[in-house]
Amino acid sequence: MPTIRRGIPTLPEPISPEARLRIQTRQATMLAAVAFTVADAAATPLEVDAAKAAAIAAIPATNLLAGDYTVATLPAANQNARKYAWVTDLFGGPGDMCLSDGVAWKPVRPLAVSTVANANVAMTLTPLVSAPTQIMAGTLTAARTITLATTYAYKGARFRIKRTAGGLFNLVVAGIGVPLNAWADFEYDGTAWVQTASGGLL
């Protein structure tokens, strides 16, 4: 059984590199979650620094890329497999860790919510850039389309679209209409965005 030191389990030996990385990823996620809620866009610089320090402390130096990155400046994922990077503008900020699986960069904690006060416009949502949960408010005066971009998309990327926007017009996401007071989930399967779930609001 692993022993406990300062609330973090140490890794038993022997253990495969793959299992070690999975455990370290869970440790980093738990520490960062305790320090900071990524959905809180009003987090202070001290809270962001604490979250960053907690996440970095749980990651071996050999698996951590030095410095800070933006989504646009992340290095090639296929040259940084099993590496972590601190991304300052992930989901619009204030920052969190991403992990390369050797194919794409993925957020360690894909948790963020954004409210679009005026959904009465066409828009594009982009993985890593746009929050995974989007609340569409306002009033539609015409049919509106939300495009889900494949830029930065990774297999398993998800968007949840919640519509509270009034109006008798369609809100179309990836070819699927989302009615008033309803939500729909979309997932990237490695090739295209597909609807995976939907429902009404209580």
pLDDT averaged over every residue in the chain = 85
Which residue among 43, 76, 107 closes a domain? 107
Residue 151 belongs to domain spanning? 113-200
The pLDDT tens digits for 72-90 are 999 999 999 999 999 999 9
* H or E segment to which residue 171 belongs: strand 171-173
Q: For the residues 53-75, what does the mean pLDDT come to?
A: 89
pTM: 0.76
Contact between 123 and 152 (Cβ < 8 Å) = no
**Residue closest to 126 by CA, chosen among 152, 108, 92, 104:** 152
Which residue among 107, 135, 156 closes a domain? 107
Per-residue model confidence (pLDDT) at position 44: 67
The pLDDT tens digits for 167-192 are 999 999 999 999 999 999 999 999 99
- For the chain, the distance separating the N- and C-terminal CA atoms, rounded to the nearest angstrom, is 45
Which residue among 81, 107, 133 closes a domain? 107
Number of domains making up the chain: 2
* Same domain assignment for residues 18 and 84: yes
* Same domain assignment for residues 153 and 92: no
- What is residue 19's three-state secondary structure? helix
Per-residue model confidence (pLDDT) at position 166: 97
